[in-house]
């Protein structure tokens, strides 16, 4: 397989204000698997079809929002190479020794131009998806029929300043492609940028905001648009607050529903979308079709979707 370098969005660390309510939401309702609670009370989750130990970390705090995002890179040599490239790009790099984050090898950390904390690491303990690797079959005894039937962490959308500088970093240093871009039709400035290191339509995205370091949403992958509707049934049943009901994005062409955790952090479950290849041209949307870019089944721009961030 040709894909090396940065592999994927691998870990998202979120602040929640009430861990008991958060556990009910992310564990029992959404169906993520709680794999650990550390000595600081932080709770760790994985989705069933991920091999790494965890993809989501919850920390109890006074306010919601994002602590950091972390991407996994191919190997330790790649991490070393990227560290010098990030320094050459002009960002300060902080080194985090192996074991500081549980089950994790060494990491590097830096602050994006948009104000967000981002980390890279090459190693994390793998605990598998319960199927094993020899004649694994297709369906675990427990796990897939649980909550929203989440397969894996998919992407995050972050709000902040200087998002074009992030595009420079991700495309020139991390070898991502700019898959899509939403621009103001008069000024041409970037309002949102979508970046991929894989065949997914996006692994990370940024939306322009007046304030740095804001969190728009974290998204988890389901198998099908049908599963998005089934998740919506449970979201309604459990009275989980909905931001935008089932719809399909123009950007990415993914089937989607947006809802909030008990602390007000926005979550998405997402399915389908197109396959991106390195030679796929960048798609441009402008503000004359903002409805179609965001929610293409009714073409309505949601004010809350554009303005509510944690």
* Catalytically annotated residue among 155, 216, 272, 276: 155
d(CA 117, CA 243): 26
**What's the min distance (Å) between Cβ of 22 and Fe ion?**
20
**What's the min distance (Å) between Cβ of 156 and Fe ion?**
8
Among candidate residues 267, 153, 146, the one with its CA nearest the CA of residue 221: 153
Q: Pick between residue 46 and residue 217 the one whose CB is nearest to Fe ion.
A: 217
Q: Pick between residue 50 and residue 180 the one whose CB is nearest to Fe ion.
A: 180
Task: Please indicate whether residue 123 is annotated as part of the active site.
Answer: no
Residue 204 in contact with residue 154, Cβ under 8 Å? no
d(CA 256, CA 248): 6
Task: Please indicate whether residue 51 is annotated as part of the active site.
Answer: no
Q: Pick between residue 227 and residue 268 the one whose CB is nearest to Fe ion.
A: 268
Task: Please indicate whether residue 268 is annotated as part of the active site.
Answer: yes
Task: Please indicate whether residue 109 is annotated as part of the active site.
Answer: no
Kindly report the number of other CB atoms within 10 A of residue 160's CB atom: 24
CB burial readout 97-111, b (16+ within 10 A) else e: eeeebbbbbbbbbbb
**What's the min distance (Å) between Cβ of 249 and Fe ion?**
7
- Site residues (vs Fe ion, CB under 5 A): 219, 268
- CA 299-304-309 angle, to 5 degrees, is 130
How are beta strands 214-221 and 177-183 bridged, if at all? unpaired
* Catalytically annotated residue among 26, 116, 258, 276: 258
Q: Pick between residue 19 and residue 221 the one whose CB is nearest to Fe ion.
A: 221
d(CA 300, CA 295): 6
Task: Please indicate whether residue 202 is annotated as part of the active site.
Answer: yes
Q: Indicate the SS3 state at residue 95.
A: strand
* Catalytically annotated residue among 54, 116, 216, 249: 249
Q: Pick between residue 89 and residue 274 the one whose CB is nearest to Fe ion.
A: 274
**What's the min distance (Å) between Cβ of 280 and Fe ion?**
19
* Catalytically annotated residue among 50, 217, 272, 276: 217
Task: Please indicate whether residue 258 is annotated as part of the active site.
Answer: yes
104 forms beta bridges with 124
**What's the min distance (Å) between Cβ of 251 and Fe ion?**
9
**Catalytic residue annotation:** 155, 202, 217, 249, 258, 268
């Amino acid at each position: 397989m040709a894909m090396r370098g940065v592999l994927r969005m691998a870990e998202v660390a979120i602040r929640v204000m009430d861990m008991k309510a958060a556990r009910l939401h992310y564990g029992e309702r959404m169906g993520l698997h709680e794999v650990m609670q550390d000595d600081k009370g932080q709770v760790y989750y994985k989705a069933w079809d991920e091999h790494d130990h965890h993809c989501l970390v919850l920390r109890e705090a006074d306010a919601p929002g994002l602590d950091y995002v972390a991407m996994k890179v191919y190997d330790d040599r790649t991490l070393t190479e990227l560290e010098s490239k990030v320094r050459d790009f002009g960002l300060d790099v902080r080194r985090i020794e192996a074991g500081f984050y549980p089950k994790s090898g060494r990491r590097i950390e830096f602050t994006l131009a948009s104000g967000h904390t981002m980390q890279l690491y090459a190693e994390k303990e793998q605990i598998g998806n319960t199927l094993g690797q020899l004649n694994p079959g297709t369906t675990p005894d427990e796990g897939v029929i649980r909550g929203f039937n989440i397969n894996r962490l998919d992407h995050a959308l972050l709000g902040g300043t200087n998002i074009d500088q992030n595009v420079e970093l991700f495309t020139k240093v991390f070898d991502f492609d700019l898959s899509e871009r939403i621009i103001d039709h008069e000024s041409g400035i970037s309002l949102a940028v979508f970046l991929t290191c894989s065949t997914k339509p996006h692994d990370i995205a940024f939306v322009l905001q007046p304030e740095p370091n804001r969190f728009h949403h974290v998204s988890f992958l389901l198998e099908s648009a049908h599963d998005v509707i089934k998740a919506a049934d449970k979201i309604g049943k459990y009275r989980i607050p909905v931001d935008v009901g089932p719809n399909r994005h123009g950007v990415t062409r993914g089937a989607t529903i947006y809802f909030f955790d008990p602390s007000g952090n926005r979550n998405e479950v997402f399915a389908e979308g197109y396959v991106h290849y390195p030679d796929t041209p960048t798609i441009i949307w402008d503000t004359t079709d903002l409805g179609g870019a965001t929610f293409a089944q009714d073409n309505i721009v949601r004010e809350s979707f554009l303005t509510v961030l944690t």
